Amino acid sequence: MDALAIAKASADKMWSEDEASRALGMEIVSVAPGKATMTMLVTDKMVNGHKICHGGYIFLLADSTFAFACNTYNQITVAQQCAVTFIRPGKLGDKLRADAMEVSKSGRSGIYDITVTRQDGTVIAEFRGHSRAIEGEIVPGLTNASGDGNAR
């Protein structure tokens, strides 16, 4: 099985059990090894007292996209550390898009940058996530059955 098929199978399995992301209306646009793109519409339940998207929801979109990007190797991987910088506000009705890209992957550790934009391409947040692979596969036997050995 090639790397793209492994990434998609891993994302499909995670998505089927990801109640939080689905409940907020997130959608997976694409996944590939070390990459993911997701979207989320800012609803009235997501705006704060300033009538802008609460930063926690923006963080959550970036964090979910980070999770899908760092789990594309069929190795269960979790966040070790994350930081976000809010640049501009998201507003009611905005369709936010998060694009995650692997910056570095070595052994059990990885670094991922996620950019969150509004529908017009305006950057509203930059997120950096550090990942740590732990024991277990997302889809048991998938990578071993493909002859690729254990995913990193």
User: pLDDT 10s per residue in the chain (152 long)?
Assistant: 899 999 999 999 999 999 999 999 999 999 999 999 999 999 999 999 999 999 999 999 999 999 999 999 999 999 999 999 999 999 999 999 999 999 999 999 999 999 999 999 999 999 999 999 999 999 998 875 444 444 33
Output the domain CATH number for residue 29.
Answer: 3.10.129.10
Please tell me the total count of domains within the chain. 1
13-29, pLDDT tens digit by residue?
Answer: 999 999 999 999 999 99
pTM of the model: 0.92
- Say what the pLDDT of residue 1 is: 83
- Residue 130 included in any domain: yes
Residue pair 73/152 in contact (Cβ under 8 Å)? The answer is yes
How far is CA 141 from each of CA 5, 33, 103, 135, 137, rounded to the nearest angstrom? 14, 18, 27, 13, 7
- Residue 151 included in any domain: no
- Residue 152 included in any domain: no
How many residues are listed for the chain in this entry?
A: 152
- Residue 60 included in any domain: yes
- Residue 38 included in any domain: yes
Q: How far apart are CA 84 and CA 20, in angstroms?
A: 19
Angle at 124 between CA 119 and CA 130, to 5 degrees: 115
Of 91, 92, 111, nearest in space to 102 by CA:
111
Range of the domain at 77: 3-145
